[in-house]
Structure 1
């Protein structure tokens, strides 16, 4: 295999049009650090932190207290370490988690239930379930539901409805939840041994994506494979990213599966984009208080190509611990993080306050745009998720072992804010579609034909200017959004039905390998400006 490397330089933005987006503080103190976040189909976000920090700033209700004789900080704790945030009312309520969820993983199942796996100490073999009932739901815990300890693993939802749980600290294997046939087993994955740097590791929270044929793309350290989990077989080994620098925790870049398009075609391509991270040796340098510049490169490859190549692109600024969020219009937002150092306790400096948008369909060298900055550093243990109205919910940052608000370079951050990308600027309001039907929470089937009716006062609607996208809401922690997926499902057969109203005919993807069953946010996008999303469920 011959690897061709194309380095694409970036011209810095030079016009006001290249800068945009607005920030809004939603809550000044939610009491619990958002180390982990998941948007559910009732437009509420489950947020949680580790339990062994001692007390949080949010009390449990009705005099409840968590009794945990194994907790290393506080065995009787009457404060919450999880909460449910209601997007519509901008309010939150405490939840009660029993065992330590520090550096765990999760995914929303096909019925919308959040299943969370692993953690630390007495939580490392637990599975926790949160069902999005209208009122009053809370965490349920299943002891010893995992075959082995899982700390820093990655989960992904599968076409058959199960989750696969991959890796974790000193775990070079994978398993499934729920178990099938009563089998409780972990399966060896030598690739995780091969990418392990021993003391520094750099293969924790591996980047995992479901390929269009049902195999898994797994990236750890600086290497990647296509993996058939059903047969425990490596199907393809990709070249290492040029330069050889690590991209996974604690070097902590991020990655996305770029939007899947042309789903009715005979051949569908799938591309992965990996951005940021820290050069080799940065973690040890940070321990010695030398903070190395973060990587300013992204690497992009077509994982369905018989002879894949990595193409290197240059970001406007280096970034470690950045989150990569798929926007409804198919762009990628890169947000949070630092310009120096690595992940880990107090291991980073120079917060990167400006988000960057990456436009995959633009010409090479012109894909990045620098956006307006926040005023809040978001470093280690920060999170970001897409909301149904197109905003990005941003929280977290605690590079300290406990909640610490004074006397440290970057205090624990309990403010919650929203970033509105440029497409939500008021000047585009008359160009934003409004979905009239179907109603939110509509159930659909694989391969079903669907008519989406929308209203648009600004005009200019043609099959060339409108498309429909579906976004699977991911589980976000440690700069990676697990099970994140965007599908472009239609842009043809647009019909004017009068009164600034149009119908667009779309086709739900035909299989679970393309679109696993579950809840998706559906958007109508007009000239890169998305509507507010509605929820549909592939049942």
Structure 2
């Protein structure tokens, strides 16, 4: 529906038309200014806002401007914006790592001490409201043509069954031909394992004990000390560790097969932290076994968190060794084995399976781990699902579990080709996991091919989509200054107000407790259409107010104070001045989003009973539908106008999770 100005505005415009034409003939820039003024007038009208909503830029003081790579909503209502080094190697080299805490209720900001480089980490909400942050950056990439020293992974062996050995960063390894390589990180090699064997002679007599020692192994990235071709090697060899004495010199050595000057990718870290929303600080927990850069962390039904994929400590995609974090013990154990490209979109589905939509964000070969499927972590069975078109354009696509979660429908939106491809697609598709044979079915297309699209669930059961670009990292000034609503029931897109700020790579969007949507970040490769001017990271913070917040405020549903926790399957009551206006209730899990990947958000329908002075709400008892943790509780009227949210914690099931020493256990 086109905007139509009021009669009063028509008269004013007509009266000024001659002057505007004269100005336009002499100064096209003035005409452009007049057009901007008209646009500002138009979008400021109540009639426009009621139909399309509005955008507002938040005044962000210079000292709080941050390269927001990650965004997470905490149960305090504040938003954690994590930059780490912020895709800026100078910050990395200086050890300057940033995190900002934003309070949307009063637009205040706070700097949070950041102990390590969480740039390109993974994150997930924990049952007690803390945010698990794991992985990040150990080393920036060195592109082809820029590598001056041969380097690669060195396997460090330890044959001593009596003690572990730690080699500090800077340890030297010498090849059989005398070429020396230096380690870039500390590495600890566990002690070797010792097994005793019993043998018997011909007469049945027990023979003396025999022992078998199996060397332990760890991995570290090394570079040649000197530049040039002498450090290149393509043959397996054993390397002496310089500085060791006695038995250590005999027991500890390096093995490498290929040390080259090809591109050296980013390398991950093993570190993990919990961010405490009340103390507003990072708290260290046990590190992961594998280093991870670009990992996905997904919460499970028992409150534990599964970490998958990422680039490891030598820059390779983790080959399928996944891990599980137990928030009760603060430790990691081995998870089910499966290979995924980095930042895969994995959704916990009813029954405990995980759906991989094929959406991912970056690293990995074109022909491995790209096919979507349903993964049963208990049996490690992975069943591929078909139906998607443009399957070569799933990288940088968006995925959401459509509202309400009980419908068990998951949508994929847009995407592009692998790597720096110029391809982008309008394709959207939905899979119904309740079907006898689930497959993706094509749904209403996006207005144009879009990668890096942000997709946010709203409390009126729509999906708000915004931003993105048609080309890799916004090349060619391809950022899309458009937003729209997707309505699952009618399979249709409806236009929303246009954002001021373009968003592409390294951008995020999330739902706030007051029903607005906040958007952050963007890391364009270039700043002009001809790709001659380097882009700059987008620091502006822009908030969208949906049309439902421009309806009559006196009729907006209101929830009074009530319980802040509920058992699975439990019932809770809240007072309300007009319960007769309340038609539905939703629990909405807060986002933890990065790189177009947000597997946390979900909207769960609640049972609703009206009383004379409030409502009674029933929470589903299935933790695979409602994983334990804090949720925003919204109620809405028949038109979808939501209340402001109340925070409530869904407790973990009474039965304790499996013992941490047995790794993954199937749900019962």
The answer, yes or no, to whether TM exceeds 0.5 is: yes
Aligned to 2:389: 242
Aligned to 2:291: 149
- Cα distance in 1 for partners of 2:506, 2:390 equals 27
Aligned to 1:256: 400
Aligned to 1:4: none
- Cα distance in 2 for partners of 1:318, 1:254 equals 12
More relative contact order in 1 or in 2 (CA 8 Å, sep 6+)? Answer: 1
Residue 20 of structure 1 is aligned with which of 52, 61, 67?
52
Residue 636 of structure 2 is aligned with which of 500, 520, 525?
525
Runs of at least 5 residues in structure 1 that lack an aligned partner in the other structure = 1-12, 55-70, 193-202, 262-267, 286-290
Residue 337 of structure 1 pairs with residue 468 of structure 2 = yes
The structure-2 alpha-carbon separation of the partners of 1:494 and 1:154, relative to structure 1 and needing over 3 Å to count, comes to same
Q: Offset at 1:223?
A: 2.5
Equivalent pairs counted in the alignment come to 455
Residue 49 of structure 1 is aligned with which of 79, 83, 104?
83
- Cα distance in 1 for partners of 2:420, 2:55 equals 35
Aligned to 2:505: 380
Higher fraction of strand: 1
Give the alignment's Cα RMSD to 1 decimal: 2.7
Q: Which whole-Å deviations, capped at 9, do the CAs of 1:204-258 have from their partners, x for residues lacking one? A: 2111111111111112255222112133222x3211512323313xxx0101011
Residue 543 of structure 2 is aligned with which of 397, 402, 418?
418
> Are the counterparts in 1 of residues 288 and 332 from structure 2 also a CA contact under 8 Å?
no
The structure-2 alpha-carbon separation of the partners of 1:429 and 1:375, relative to structure 1 and needing over 3 Å to count, comes to same
Q: Offset at 1:398?
A: 1.9
Residue 452 of structure 1 pairs with residue 452 of structure 2 = no
Secondary structure, aligned partner of 1:350: coil
Residue 301 of structure 1 is aligned with which of 412, 431, 453?
431
- Cα distance in 2 for partners of 1:447, 1:421 equals 32
The structure-2 alpha-carbon separation of the partners of 1:159 and 1:327, relative to structure 1 and needing over 3 Å to count, comes to same
Residue 599 of structure 2 is aligned with which of 460, 477, 482?
482
Aligned to 1:507: 618
Q: Offset at 1:168?
A: 1.8
- Cα distance in 1 for partners of 2:350, 2:460 equals 21
- Please give the TM-score of this superposition, normalised by the length of structure 2: 0.64
Q: Offset at 1:52?
A: 6.4
Q: Offset at 1:494?
A: 2.6
The structure-2 alpha-carbon separation of the partners of 1:90 and 1:284, relative to structure 1 and needing over 3 Å to count, comes to closer
> Are the counterparts in 2 of residues 296 and 314 from structure 1 also a CA contact under 8 Å?
yes
> Are the counterparts in 1 of residues 91 and 97 from structure 2 also a CA contact under 8 Å?
no
Higher fraction of helix: 2
Larger radius of gyration: 2
Residue 216 of structure 1 pairs with residue 341 of structure 2 = no
- Please give the TM-score of this superposition, normalised by the length of structure 1: 0.78
The structure-2 alpha-carbon separation of the partners of 1:110 and 1:538, relative to structure 1 and needing over 3 Å to count, comes to same
Q: Offset at 1:92?
A: 0.8
- Cα distance in 2 for partners of 1:74, 1:438 equals 46
Residue 230 of structure 1 pairs with residue 368 of structure 2 = no
Aligned to 2:478: 350
The structure-2 alpha-carbon separation of the partners of 1:449 and 1:73, relative to structure 1 and needing over 3 Å to count, comes to closer
> Are the counterparts in 2 of residues 102 and 120 from structure 1 also a CA contact under 8 Å?
yes
Secondary structure, aligned partner of 2:553: helix
- Cα distance in 2 for partners of 1:167, 1:303 equals 24
Residue 389 of structure 1 pairs with residue 406 of structure 2 = no
Q: Offset at 1:186?
A: 5.3
The structure-2 alpha-carbon separation of the partners of 1:204 and 1:14, relative to structure 1 and needing over 3 Å to count, comes to farther
Stretch deviating more after TM superposition (181-190 or 528-537)? 181-190
Residue 473 of structure 1 pairs with residue 590 of structure 2 = yes
Aligned to 1:175: 323
- Cα distance in 1 for partners of 2:503, 2:534 equals 12
Q: Offset at 1:34?
A: 1.3
Residue 89 of structure 1 is aligned with which of 98, 106, 109?
106
